[in-house]
Amino acid sequence: MLLHDYWRSGASYRVRLALNLKNLVFDQMPHDLRTDAQTDPGYVAINPQELVPALEADGQVLTQSLAIIEWLEEKHPAPALLPADPNSRAVVRAMASLIACDIHPLHNLRVLTALRHEIGASEAQVSGWIAHWIKDGLAALETMIVRHGGIYAFGDTPGLVDCCLVPQLYSAERFTVPLGAFPRVVAAGAAARALPAFAAAHPYRQPDADAR
């Protein structure tokens, strides 16, 4: 398997986590979003949306992080990232989508670039935008973790929600968003980050990461 990614991409981070949790071997092809490497014609032929991640596997190209993770779950069911019963699976998907669809897209690079260059937002306004949407989403997630969480974001086994949560916490910390109002979110994230699979997927552990 070949994963097209970028070290600081939250969506790519999710897929790395899922691959690691399933103990799958994969190669990486980085694309630096800051230099528009994802718009190179060779990559556009692979992923016409010009986004990362994309996973080449079984002779096909898979895109969109949640779709990739669901494919991995079906193709390599053990260890499972989703619970067995339909009701719990629906809750897990909702929690993951809350992060991947309602929080993360509002502060990814292309949105922030548009705010700065197309709308003319100041850096203070951009920071306020980021903090607003991260805190708004994490407030809802906090309630859901209180209801459904255990050691991890859902129950006592790391899974799909944690694959989404940990990259989101990395973004929150990167943008210096206060997290004191979300103790269960922070605790679940800390439990997941302590696992080797999560440590190996951290952005600064990737081959294309900037020097610290």
Mean pLDDT for each consecutive 10-residue tract of the chain (212 residues)? 98 98 98 96 96 97 98 98 98 98 96 97 98 98 98 98 98 97 98 98 97 88
Distances (CA, A) of 41 to 44, 50, 114, 138, 194: 5, 9, 22, 37, 39
Are 163 and 96 spatial neighbours (Cβ–Cβ below 8 Å)? yes
Distances (CA, A) of 111 to 1, 106, 117, 121, 156: 30, 6, 10, 11, 35
At residue 25, the pLDDT reads 98
HSE-CB for 51 with a 13 A CA cutoff: 14
Domains and CATH numbers, the chain: 2-79 (3.40.30.10), 86-197 (1.20.1050.10)
At residue 1, the pLDDT reads 98
Cis peptide before 77 (omega within 30 of 0): no
Q: How far apart are CA 184 and CA 145, in angstroms?
A: 6
Q: How far apart are CA 5 and CA 51, in angstroms?
A: 9
102 DSSP assignment: I
Q: Which amino acid is at 54?
A: A
At residue 132, the pLDDT reads 98
At residue 56, the pLDDT reads 98
User: In this predicted model, what pLDDT tens digit does every residue of 35-66 receive, in sequence order?
Assistant: 999 999 999 999 999 999 999 999 999 999 99
Two structure tokens written together for 92? 């897990």
At residue 172, the pLDDT reads 98
Q: How far apart are CA 108 and CA 11, in angstroms?
A: 10
Sign of CA dihedral 4, 167, 116, 209: negative
At residue 212, the pLDDT reads 84
